[in-house]
Amino acid sequence: MPSSITILLLLAALAANLPFVTTKVAGFVRVANKHFGWQALELAVLFGLMGGLARLLEAREMPVHEQHWQFYVTTLALFLVAAFPGFVYRYFWRKPG
């Protein structure tokens, strides 16, 4: 497996867990209570950024293949599976407060 793919997968796993680990929105803006809506919005933005990075890396290696909705639904499901450890840490494992 090329190193760019390995780095992309590790970066995507980190990005998927980032909204649940930090208490700031987008890593910069502090809010009183970061609820699930903010985390879902961050997750969607990070999913888009990872998709853009993957498309950029693919374009550097070969012609970009056309994708349909099934591809995006599958990659979203995999991104959510990668976010599961952060979700468990935030809502089940960590003590409130």
* For range 36-58, the mean pLDDT: 92
Instruction: Count structural domains, the chain.
Output: 1
The token pair that represents 66 in the structure block: 């056309």
Domain holding 17, by residue range, is 3-93
Within the chain, strands assigned E span 24-25, 29-30
Greatest CA span in the chain, whole angstroms?
A: 50
Average pLDDT of the chain, as a whole number:
88
Provide the 8-state DSSP code for 92: I
CB 47 within 8 A of CB 79: yes
Q: Among 8-12, 17-21, 93-97, whose mean pLDDT is lowest?
A: 93-97
pLDDT of the residue at 27: 75
pLDDT in tens, 48-92: 999 999 999 888 888 988 899 999 999 999 999 999 999 998 888
Which amino acid is residue 31, in one-letter code? Answer: V
Write the CB contacts of 34 (distance below 8 Å, at least 6 apart in sequence): 23, 24, 25
pLDDT of the residue at 95: 67
